[in-house]
Each structure stands twice: as structure tokens, then as C-alpha cells.
């Protein structure tokens, strides 16, 4: 079984592209959603977070004190980096366990916003980046999240530049309204299935 990473900067449409692969029968691991889960069910991670951020990082019922954590890491790059350094290995562990559920799949997809930044791409056989022009992506995020243009640009500035991701990726899906996304996803699906030795019928 091949492990494929898929990523893209904010507003690129990486989640939409991932849904297309799901329709094709490919299991998709959504790293951001899993990160929220491991912060409340991975005991190794929970202990590490309490050790660094204090026992008040969790409420008595075991839920995460998101307001406290956000207050610590907001505008503090060092603390945000520390939190990510704790969470990413737990997400990697969750992915390794998740993969075991799909022994018959030709390949699985790992959707992650920070696929390259976290080093997660090193565990993937191939990678896909979903791209679109910056102004188009910013406009999408403003509309989707109801935030200001400046807030969207601030989020964008914290991510690895899109062109760097393209240089690192095995495949690119252009989501700039000049090309249809479905045929691009289908072409990649056929190629990856062939790499996996899976014959499409």
C-alpha cells in the first residue's frame, strides 16, 4: 500500500480535492481533525501538554482548555512551535494506526495543511499539492471564514510559500478555475493505482 500526502495553502481547495479521492474509494486521513482528537485521547500527548502548559490545560472532565492554550500560543511563535512539536508526533502515531484499517486499499491519502512543514511528507511515497493564485485563495478564505483580507493574508504568511510546495510535490492539482479539478484527480488516481500495482476496472 502506498501512502500519499496531499496539501495546499489556505483556500487552495485541498479538502475538496481530497473528497474527490474519497469518491474514488480511497481512504483519506484528515490530519487537522485528527489533531483535535489526539489532544484529548493520546495519553502520551496529554501528559506532555500538561507538563509544558500546566495542568490547567485540561478541564476536570478531560476536555482541552482551548482558550488557555490559544492565549499562550497566540502571537508567540516559540510556544506555537512547541505545541506543534508535541502534537505532530501524536498525529503521526494516529496515522500509522489508521492505515492498518485499510490493508486492501491500493493507496491511502494523508491530508495535512503542514505536510511539508512538519516533515510528514518524508513518510509518504508521493505527494500532491493543490494550488491556486494567492489573490483567489485569499478571497475564498475571506468568504468561507468571514474574516478580513488582512487576517487571511496573515494566515497565508505563516505557511510555506506555494511555489516551494510545488517544487517538493510529486503532483500538482491546479484549482484556479482554468482547469477542471476532477480530470486532474482522475489522472493522478490512475497513475498512483498503477504505481501500487492495482489494476483499475
Check residue 75 and give its pLDDT.
Answer: 78
CATH of residue 17's domain is: 3.40.50.300
Is 201 domain-assigned? no
Is 132 domain-assigned? yes
Is 6 domain-assigned? yes
Residues whose CB falls within 8 Å of the CB of residue 167, separated by 6 or more in sequence, listed in order: none
Measure the CA–CA gap between 196 and 81, rounded to whole angstroms.
35
- From first to last of its 201 residues, the chain has per-residue pLDDT tens of 899 999 999 999 999 999 999 999 999 999 999 999 999 999 999 999 999 999 999 999 999 999 999 999 887 889 998 999 999 999 999 999 999 999 999 999 999 999 998 888 999 999 999 999 999 999 999 999 999 999 999 889 889 999 999 999 999 999 998 999 999 999 999 999 999 986 654
- Domain count of the fold of the chain: 1
Is 39 domain-assigned? yes
Neighbouring CB atoms inside 10 A of 120's CB total 21
Q: What is the pTM (predicted TM-score) of this model?
A: 0.90
Is 190 domain-assigned? yes
Is 200 domain-assigned? no
Structural domain harbouring 146? 2-195
Check residue 174 and give its pLDDT.
Answer: 96
Q: List helix spans (H) across 30-133.
A: 31-41, 43-53, 66-73, 77-99
Phi, psi of 71 (to 5 degrees): -65, -35
Amino acid at each position: 500500500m502506498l501512502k500519499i500526502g496531499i496539501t495546499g495553502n489556505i483556500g487552495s481547495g485541498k479538502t475538496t480535492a481530497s473528497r474527490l479521492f474519497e469518491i474514488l474509494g480511497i481512504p483519506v486521513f484528515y490530519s487537522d481533525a485528527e489533531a483535535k482528537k489526539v489532544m484529548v485521547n493520546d495519553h502520551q500527548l496529554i501528559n506532555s501538554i500538561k507538563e509544558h502548559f500546566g495542568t490547567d490545560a485540561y478541564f476536570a472532565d478531560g476536555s482541552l482548555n482551548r482558550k488557555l492554550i490559544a492565549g499562550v500560543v497566540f502571537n508567540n511563535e516559540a510556544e506555537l512551535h512547541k505545541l506543534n512539536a508535541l502534537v505532530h508526533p501524536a498525529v503521526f502515531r494516529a496515522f500509522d494506526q489508521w492505515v492498518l484499517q485499510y490493508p486492501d486499499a491500493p493507496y491511502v491519502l494523508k491530508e495535512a495543511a503542514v505536510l511539508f512543514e512538519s516533515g510528514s511528507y518524508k513518510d509518504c511515497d508521493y505527494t500532491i499539492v493543490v494550488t491556486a493564485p494567492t489573490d483567489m485563495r485569499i478571497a475564498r478564505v475571506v468568504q468561507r471564514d468571514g474574516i478580513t483580507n488582512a487576517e487571511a493574508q496573515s494566515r497565508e504568511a505563516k505557511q510555506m510559500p506555494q511555489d516551494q510546495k510545488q517544487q517538493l510535490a510529486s503532483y500538482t492539482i491546479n484549482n484556479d478555475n482554468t482547469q477542471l479539478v476532477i480530470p486532474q484527480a482522475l489522472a493522478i488516481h490512475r497513475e498512483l493505482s498503477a504505481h501500487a500495482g492495482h489494476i483499475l476496472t
